[in-house]
Amino acid sequence: MTPTEINQALEKIGGRPNKKLGQHFLIDAVALDAIVGAADIHQGDHVLEVGPGLGVLTDALLHQGANVTAIEQDRRFLAHLTSQYPEGLTVIHGDAARLDWMDFVRDGQWKFVSNLPYSISSLALRKALWNENPPAKVVVLVQREVAERAIAKEGKTSLLSLMVALASRTATLVRRVPAGAFYPPPQVESAILAIEPLSQAERLKKWGINPEKVMALAKKGFAHPRKLLSSNLGLTADMWKPIADRLGIDPRVRAEDLSPELWVALARDEQATLVCG
């Protein structure tokens, strides 16, 4: 859709882009093709989409043969979506941050493909990747900073990149998307993030521990990122040194200094688990 077409559609439903809901409509065909291509959509694929808005991405997914379940919080778009796309689309009115996604994906195979509102990007990734039935593929358009934080960098880990690493086989930044690719343009650059999740059984086999236990510990460790990890975990020097020695790390490390593998090792350490709770 062009900006003119977007304005015309918005006039029909009575309104303007909702800033509170972070509505920025994709108008760049190259970025749209990149999202659909990365999602590798086939006839009959079940796709969950959050924030379809006027249906720019929805339309592209449907044309590739997908069956789309779209969660839309803005009531203004509901009638527009259902009238424009009477077949292949199921529209759910509600807040995707609060809804239980298992109600829509159940035990079947599905993919998560969305131009995500910036305010719920991290939470939406968590709800997709850590779903009881994880998707076969995740492809989302998010703020570039979020996409970069989601990919573990050499020597540095964020809580988001740890969460992604524990639950996925790969995470790739497909391409950057400039602000001008949206109407109205946001204040920041965006990026397409593609993730290949692991099943619940695969991640347990890979790590040898339930990743939820690792994340529970990591949330404590990242509570105050500038503080030493031992301080965030509430450990004295005498308590922490033998644990650090076993892990082969500097006792003065911060949470970001531990790789996903070291976070797993820390969570599996019996003494650490005992003293950290």
Residue 277, pLDDT score: 63
Q: Which residue would you say has higher pLDDT here, 203 or 272?
A: 203
Examine the fold and report which residue of 201, 217, 235 is the final residue of a domain before the chain moves on.
201
197 vs 216: CA distance, rounded Å = 20
Confidence of residue 273 (pLDDT cuts 50, 70, 90): confident
Contacts of 248 (CB under 8 A, 6+ apart): none
Residue 30, pLDDT score: 97
Q: Rg for the chain (alpha carbons), in Å?
A: 21
Please state the pTM of the whole predicted model: 0.94
CATH number for the domain harbouring residue 60 = 3.40.50.150
Specify the range with the lowest mean pLDDT, choosing from 103-112, 152-161, 165-174: 152-161
- Which residue is listed with tokens 């965006």? 190
Characterize the bridge pairing of strands 137-143 and 111-115.
parallel
Among 115, 149, 122, residue whose Cα is nearest residue 34 = 115
Task: Give the total number of structural domains in the chain.
Answer: 2
Characterize the bridge pairing of strands 182-183 and 168-177.
unpaired
Confidence of residue 65 (pLDDT cuts 50, 70, 90): very high
What does pLDDT average to over the chain?
Answer: 93
Mean pLDDT computed over 139-158: 92
Q: Given a cut of 90, is residue 11 above it in pLDDT?
A: no
Among 222, 130, 140, 136, residue whose Cα is nearest residue 177 = 140
Identify whether residues 269 and 152 lie together within a single domain. no
Identify whether residues 129 and 222 lie together within a single domain. no
CATH number for the domain harbouring residue 249 = 1.10.8.100
> pLDDT exceeding 70 applies to what percent of the chain?
98
Specify the range with the lowest mean pLDDT, choosing from 58-62, 99-103, 153-157: 153-157
- 266's enclosing H/E stretch is helix 260-268
Q: Per-residue pLDDT tens for 158-198? A: 999 999 999 999 999 999 999 999 998 999 999 999 999 99
Q: Given a cut of 80, is residue 41 above it in pLDDT?
A: yes
Identify whether residues 169 and 262 lie together within a single domain. no
Write the burial class of residue 100 (CB in 10 Å: 0-12 exposed, 13-18 middle, 19+ buried). Answer: exposed
Tally of CA atoms within 13 A in the half-sphere of 201 that contains its CB:
0
Confidence of residue 145 (pLDDT cuts 50, 70, 90): very high
Identify whether residues 224 and 153 lie together within a single domain. no
Mean pLDDT computed over 112-137: 95
Identify whether residues 215 and 118 lie together within a single domain. no
Residue 94 region by backbone torsions, left for phi larger than 0, else alpha for psi between -120 and 50, else beta = left
Q: Per-residue pLDDT tens for 67-90? A: 999 999 988 899 899 999 989 999
- Name the maximum alpha-carbon separation found in the chain: 68
Examine the fold and report which residue of 201, 234, 251 is the final residue of a domain before the chain moves on.
201
Q: Rounded to a whole number, what is the distance in angstroms from the first to the last CA of the chain?
A: 53
Domain that holds residue 246: 208-276
Residue 206, pLDDT score: 96
Examine the fold and report which residue of 161, 181, 201 is the final residue of a domain before the chain moves on.
201
167 vs 161: CA distance, rounded Å = 10
Identify whether residues 25 and 133 lie together within a single domain. yes
Identify whether residues 239 and 147 lie together within a single domain. no
Q: Per-residue pLDDT tens for 211-237? A: 999 999 999 999 999 999 999 999 999
Identify whether residues 215 and 197 lie together within a single domain. no
Q: Where are the beta strands (DSSP E) in 123-277?
A: 137-143, 168-177, 182-183, 190-197
Confidence of residue 14 (pLDDT cuts 50, 70, 90): confident
88 vs 238: CA distance, rounded Å = 61
Identify whether residues 146 and 161 lie together within a single domain. yes
Characterize the bridge pairing of strands 190-197 and 67-72.
unpaired
Q: Given a cut of 80, is residue 275 above it in pLDDT?
A: no
Identify whether residues 194 and 218 lie together within a single domain. no
Mean pLDDT computed over 55-66: 97
Identify whether residues 186 and 227 lie together within a single domain. no
Identify whether residues 68 and 151 lie together within a single domain. yes
